Amino acid sequence: MTDAPQIILASGSPFRRMLLENAGLRFRVERSSIDERAVEEALEGSEADPETVAQVLAEAKAVEVSERFADALVIGADQTLSLGDEVFHKPADMEGARNHLLKLSGRTHQLNSAVVLAQAGAVLWRHVGIARLTMRQLDPAFIGRHLARVGEKALGSVGAYQIEGEGIQLFEKIEGDNFTIVGLPLLPLLAELRTLGAIDG
């Protein structure tokens, strides 16, 4: 394993970093400089589904960082939340978080978590994990009390909730693994890293 490539995570997400650290990986973080909203705007009108949007964003991050660190194996990741045809973004403020939860209340939405491996500007591997989450019917007054308790943490995710915290109380059913929900399909990623000889296997 002495000649294994250095691994770089092209994401500033503390949750993705924690998942890799907990799995025992040795890596460093180099955030991508791409403008995510510009990439998404370029996809508008292309009929790209939410899974494809997540994958394109993950690829853009991984490729951009891998062009700067050509010898490294770069992990890019992104996640979209879709409710029917509507794609959600992180809420800008607490009112936006309240509107997110009102829309998601009593309905099933989908989290699309893409992960990509790139090296020297080329994509080596890509994967999109999908989870389906059914939110229980939420009373608007409860939403207000919930957001008052969790505060600005609600602004850190596309759905205005953290499933690993108090956000779990919002749900009645979850289909999919926790890694995909947090934003990094870890088991397929680890399998590919072993295949590439980047981690011990």
pTM above 0.95, yes or no: no
Please name the amino acid found at residue 68.
R
> pLDDT band at residue 2, thresholds of 50, 70 and 90?
low
pLDDT tops 70 at residue 1: no
pLDDT tens sequence across 134-155: 999 999 999 999 999 999 999 9
Write the CA distances from 164 to 51, 96, 129, integer angstroms: 23, 21, 18
- Top pLDDT among 124 and 39 is at 124
**What is the rounded average pLDDT of the residues 45-51?**
84
pLDDT of residue 185: 97
Distance, in Å, from the CA atom of 74 to the CA atom of 63, rounded to the nearest integer, reads: 8
Range among 39-43, 87-91, 189-193 with highest mean pLDDT value: 189-193
pLDDT of residue 168: 95
93 is annotated as an active-site residue: no
Question: How confident is the prediction for the chain on average, in pLDDT?
Answer: 93
- Top pLDDT among 39 and 24 is at 24
Write the CA distances from 108 to 6, 84, 130, 161, 173, integer angstroms: 39, 9, 13, 14, 9
> Among 86-90, 117-121, 168-172, 188-192, whose mean pLDDT is lowest?
86-90
Domains along the chain with CATH numbers: 7-195 (3.90.950.10)
> pLDDT band at residue 5, thresholds of 50, 70 and 90?
confident
**What is the rounded average pLDDT of the residues 187-191?**
98
With tokens 């919930």, the residue in question is 146
**What is the rounded average pLDDT of the residues 8-32?**
94
pLDDT of residue 114: 97
**What is the rounded average pLDDT of the residues 63-67?**
97
pLDDT tops 90 at residue 176: yes
Ranges of beta strands (E only) in the chain are: 7-9, 28-29, 73-83, 86-88, 108-119, 122-135, 171-175
Residue from 49, 78, 177, 200 carrying the catalytic annotation? 78
pLDDT of residue 42: 81
